[in-house]
Amino acid sequence: MLREDSYTATWTLLAMTGFVGFVLLRRRWWYYAFCVGLSFAYATKESTFITMFLIGTFLIISMIWEHANVPLRRAIQVGAVGAILGGFVTAVIGVYKKELFEIGGGFIGLIVGALGGVMYDRYKPEESDGLTPRERGASGPMTGAWRALWRDNSGFWGLGTFSGGIVLFFVVFIILFTSLFTNFGGIREGLIGGIRYWLEQHGVQRGNQPWFYYILILVAYETLPFCFFIIATVEYLRKPTWFTSFMLWWGWGALTIYSWAGEKMPWLVIHIATPMVLLTARFLGELWHRDGPASWYRRSSFGVATLLSAWSIHTGWPVNFERPDTPRDLLVYTQTAPDVKKVMADIERMSLEQTASARDLGVTVQSGAWWPFSWYLRDFKNVDYPSQLNSPATKPVVIVALEDDDKNAPFLNGYSKTKYKMRWWYPEDYRNITIDSLRNVFTNAETRSGLWQWLIYREPTQPLGSYDFFVYIKDGISISPATAGQSASTNTTARINPEAYVSKLVPVQARGEFGSTGKGQGQYTLPRGIAPDGLGSFFIADTGNHRIQKVDRTGKVVVAWGTEGAR
């Protein structure tokens, strides 16, 4: 399933590339790319507010750091680390969450970290560089880039590069938020509606996941970048550069803010994983070219990276290409079950048999099943959508949600029903993870076995959750045996309604006959069409067996092809 997060991540990557490119290279087009990418990302999803916050805060911290002397720089560096750690402990984990108004731990961490940086400088002082704050700032990448941007008045056809980027941002913004100039009220929604919606969702707590939710997903599916991001953090805190510091701020900041936000969904992990992937690539690239006595460190790191790459294929391939609609993975949230499409195929087959059209059969859909059937039945001509049945049903097919079956069953006499899954979801057995359960991994064989079954085969420890529905078929109407549900009625034999064909009968004199009912070669199930090839042979549509059989004059099969689902 494609969500806007894929597009948001793409535009965010463009914006961040432009941001870093301009700071390091000072070329106008990088700045323009930043403005355009940020505008597209902003128009695509509200989560861009988090990206803008991370950019803005790092810009401020970076410029203050570049103007500061050595003691203050250490205070800023350790204070930034403390702010993220403190914020994670109180806002995310929930330690003294109410007492500190959720984000209070971030301020405490900032203060404690800054004091720790000052104390460290006194313990291990460095000589002053003898420069004034203005002189220090002039040599800093962030300050230098800002000054170059502000002073470039010849860019964008004389308007100035800085102003030109703002123009580009709002050109994209206005075009998209007005829906190509058809809804100018969208400008107001774009400016305040997005942030208002995001803040409202924080209180709604959609998903209501535990605080470690994203860490769990990163460990399970983004194992390689997450592990090496942690290693790179240690490396680059010791030897920071402007770029690596920005990537650390982006990665850890995103993990903290998204874990704190009320809405936690698996698709949002892409916004956390992106900076981790980028910094991991930077770290491994530098490690590849590193020489010296620590070559064992390089070899062991790439050995681990190779193993984790294989593990990423093991976890990523099935969920993307083998079972993308089966919620045996944490990445698959509530998902429409395959039964829905199978039911639609059955309805279309019945419609062909009863009306000679795949879209003319009468269908009633009760409110509990309106979605997704209102979409799948959008081209059907004879469908109604009552909230509940209040009189005996008349249409050949009635779809009722399981939770409303008792209310509607009295109006469905003369129907046979079959149960299906409409939506299903991962059982979320991870919610029970505690210190004791982690200890059981080492002490309890059953716990180890359950963990192994999920890691290797993605077999959950509990049954998949589901929202079910019934399909009621009017007695006397045939239904293909290719259904997926378990019938709730004992009357499951395929039935034919002869009255539907009375007006279509044409008397003919039989000159011979061949074939029988079945699935073997030369056998047929619900054959619905025959056509000569002009050379003495015939093509027969063996509908119930999902194939075409070509036979000669005597009925001997010449060739057959087709299976269910094949095209």
CB 333 within 8 A of CB 268: no
> What is the C-alpha R_g of the chain?
32
The CA distance from 272 to 71, in Å, is 32
Beta bridge partners of 290: none
Give the pairing of strands 516-517 and 465-474.
unpaired
Q: In degrees rounded to 5, what are phi and psi of residue 482?
A: -90, 25
| Token pair for 40 | 């597209």
**Exposed/middle/buried for residue 117 (C-beta within 10 Å: 0-12, 13-18, 19+):** buried
The CA distance from 64 to 143, in Å, is 9
CA-closest candidate to residue 37, choices 10, 11, 4: 11
CB 275 within 8 A of CB 281: no
The CA distance from 479 to 326, in Å, is 26
| Token pair for 364 | 């009633």
CB 412 within 8 A of CB 461: no
| Token pair for 314 | 């093991």
Residue 391: count other Cβ atoms within 10 Å of its Cβ: 7
| pLDDT tens for each residue of the chain, 567 residues long | 468 899 999 999 999 999 999 999 999 999 999 999 999 999 999 889 999 999 999 999 999 999 998 889 999 999 999 999 999 999 999 999 888 989 999 999 999 999 999 898 888 887 777 777 777 777 889 999 999 999 999 999 999 999 999 999 999 999 999 999 999 989 988 888 878 877 777 777 888 899 999 999 999 999 999 999 999 999 999 999 999 999 999 999 999 999 999 889 999 999 999 999 999 999 999 998 887 666 788 889 999 999 999 999 999 999 989 888 889 999 998 899 999 999 999 999 999 988 889 999 999 999 999 999 999 999 999 999 999 999 999 999 999 999 999 999 999 999 999 999 999 999 988 988 888 888 888 998 988 998 999 999 888 888 899 999 999 999 988 665 444 344 433 333 344 455 555 666 777 777 778 888 777 888 887 787 899 988 889 999 988 788 999 999 888 999 998 876 555
CB 419 within 8 A of CB 485: yes
